[in-house]
């Protein structure tokens, strides 16, 4: 009984993570400039991958596997925002200007 409930909870968490990964992809494809895209992609990536892996950790049969998946979650939660910040900071220093309503017509 408890095992079945745990499996249902794990499946729901995993599905929520997949939905967040899909939001990240939609943001990456649809938003107007690099900074908006990085905003959507890095945050949805960290949360989506974290939730998906958390659901997987609840399903894993061996305790060692679950522990390694938790280590992977910690890695993703640290690495994804750091990578996004480094990339947008580099783009800012390289001269990529953000999108504004005034600059909308002369391209990106």
Partner 1 sequence: MTGTLAGLLWGAVFFLLLNSLACLWRVLAGPALADRILGVNVIATNTMVVLALLAVLRGQGFWLDIAIVYALLGFTLTLVASRLVETGRLAFGERTR
Pick the binder of partner 1 from 75, 98, 103, 104 (CB under 8 A): 75
Measured distance CA(49)–CA(45) in Å, rounded: 6
Q: Within 77-96, which residues bind partner 1 (CB under 8 A)?
A: 79-80, 82-84, 86-91, 93-94, 96
Token pair of 72 as six digits: 């992977």
The torsion angle over the Cα atoms of residues 18, 24, 26 and 31, rounded to 10 degrees, is 170
- Compose the 27-66 pattern: x for residues touching partner 1 by CB under 8 A, - for all others: -xx----x--xx--xx--x---x--xx--x--xxxx-xx-
Q: Is 6 in the site for partner 1 (CB under 8 A)?
A: no
Closest to partner 1 by CB, 68 vs 103, is 68
> Which one, of 22, 16, 59, 60, lies nearest residue 41 by Cα?
22
């Amino acid at each position: 009984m408890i095992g079945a409930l745990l499996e249902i909870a794990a499946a729901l968490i995993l599905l929520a993570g997949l939905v967040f990964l899909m939001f990240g992809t939609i943001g990456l494809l649809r938003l107007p400039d690099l900074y908006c895209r990085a905003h959507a992609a890095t945050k949805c990536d960290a949360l989506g991958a974290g939730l998906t892996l958390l659901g997987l950790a609840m399903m894993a049969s061996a305790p060692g596997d679950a522990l390694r998946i938790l280590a992977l979650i910690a890695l993703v939660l640290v690495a994804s925002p750091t990578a996004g910040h480094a990339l947008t900071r580099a783009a800012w220093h390289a001269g990529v200007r953000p999108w504004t309503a005034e600059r909308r017509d002369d391209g990106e």
